[in-house]
Structure 1
Amino acid sequence: MNIQQARVPQSCPPGFLARYTVKPGDTFYMIAQMFRVRLEALAVNNPHITNPNIIYPGDVLCVPGLVAFPCCVSLHARGRVPFGTGGVGYINFAPQGGQAVNIMATLPQPSFFGDYDIYTGDIFIPDIGGFGNQLSPTPQAPPNWSTRVELPTVASITPNSQIVVTPFNSVTGRTGPIILEGFVTNVTCS
């Protein structure tokens, strides 16, 4: 049996810093559709694939992204928090294409910080704006809280994007202070 050696680029060109590993059944066309990029642009930015009509599981393609991902960003406490409070933002491809940030954190109950009943996790992208979602707890004490924030396909995470976790009052609509914060850089995401 002849097994094809995976083809991996040495580096990706500017604007194509993210990588995608080909899965069984993938085609160049499907991958271009998933990342909302022209087929020709995907082919030109992957010269290690000499024939875009022939790709194999395990091949690695450079895909559009201003930040190399998947990557993790540590979320550090701002202000006084209980021992063990911390979190991470995991940036990767969204299940339906585009990009997503998974936010996971160990936090006390939101009421620890005042009149709050939930947490929200947000990513703020310079010159674009913010996207967020409510975090859900696990049953442990203290709970682990998590959410996934899927970005619209027209938005791309850039260096200096800020990931934050804040308490929130779902009745009054009042947002509390930033509890956890991290910044996306090409150093943290490589």
Structure 2
Amino acid sequence: MKQIVLAILFIATFVVYPSQTNAISMPCSLILKPIDKSLINSKGIALIYKVQLNPPSFARTNISILAVHLPKPSSYGNYDSYEGFAFIPDEISWRFRLYPTPEGVSPTWAGRFDLITAEMRNVTVQVRLSNSKTKKLGTSILTNNIEYCK
């Protein structure tokens, strides 16, 4: 009888209080992979962590992106830059400009956003094409889901 009660308590513990949560532990890094598999050299990384801003306030979440070996934005049409884009489906999104380094042929694109207050669950992080004049956001070039953040 004791074994049955113990087994029921043990099973109930895992059903009522699951051991895994959907929230990520921070800081973490996320490899951004190309949508188009022919872009074998195009890669990126997103660093996600809590940041304390001045003047002192509650901690916010920062997403910093670095992307390398991306094709020229103009090769996809009327685009001249890239943006970082992160979103929680049907809830909220954040977009921020990525800036190229002065390297000539294939610059590194980097940028950050520091003001996220939402809980980081089911977030997708992307590098997307952008037209800086019209503010039009294009298709995703690199992407990954925060569940793979390590």
Q: TM-score range by the shorter chain?
A: 0.7 to 0.9
Q: TM-score, normalised by structure 1?
A: 0.58
Q: 1:142 aligns with which of 87, 92, 106?
A: 106
Q: 1: distance between equivalents of 2:63 and 2:36? A: 24
Matched with 1:169 is 131
Query: Normalization by structure 2: what TM-score?
Result: 0.72
Deviation string, structure 1 residues 130-153 (Cα, Å, up to 9, x no partner): 011000011123111011122333
Quote the RMSD (CA, aligned, Å).
2.2
Compute the displacement of 1:175 (Å).
2.1
Greater share of strand residues, 1 or 2? 2
Which one-letter code corresponds to 1:189 in the other structure?
C
Identity %: 32
Q: Provide the rounded CA distance (Å) in 2 between the counterparts of 1:91 and 1:168.
A: 22
SS in 2 for 1:112: helix
Between the aligned partners of 1:81 and 1:114, the Cα distance in structure 2 is: 18
Extract structure 1 runs of 4+ deviating beyond 4 A: 80-83
**Structure 1 stretches lacking a partner, 5+ long:** 1-13, 18-64
Higher relative CO (CA 8 A, sep ≥ 6), structure 1 or 2? 2
Residue type of the partner of 2:93? G
The structure with the greater share of residues assigned to helix is 2
Question: Matched residue pairs, number?
Answer: 124
CA shift at 1:126, angstroms? Answer: 3.9
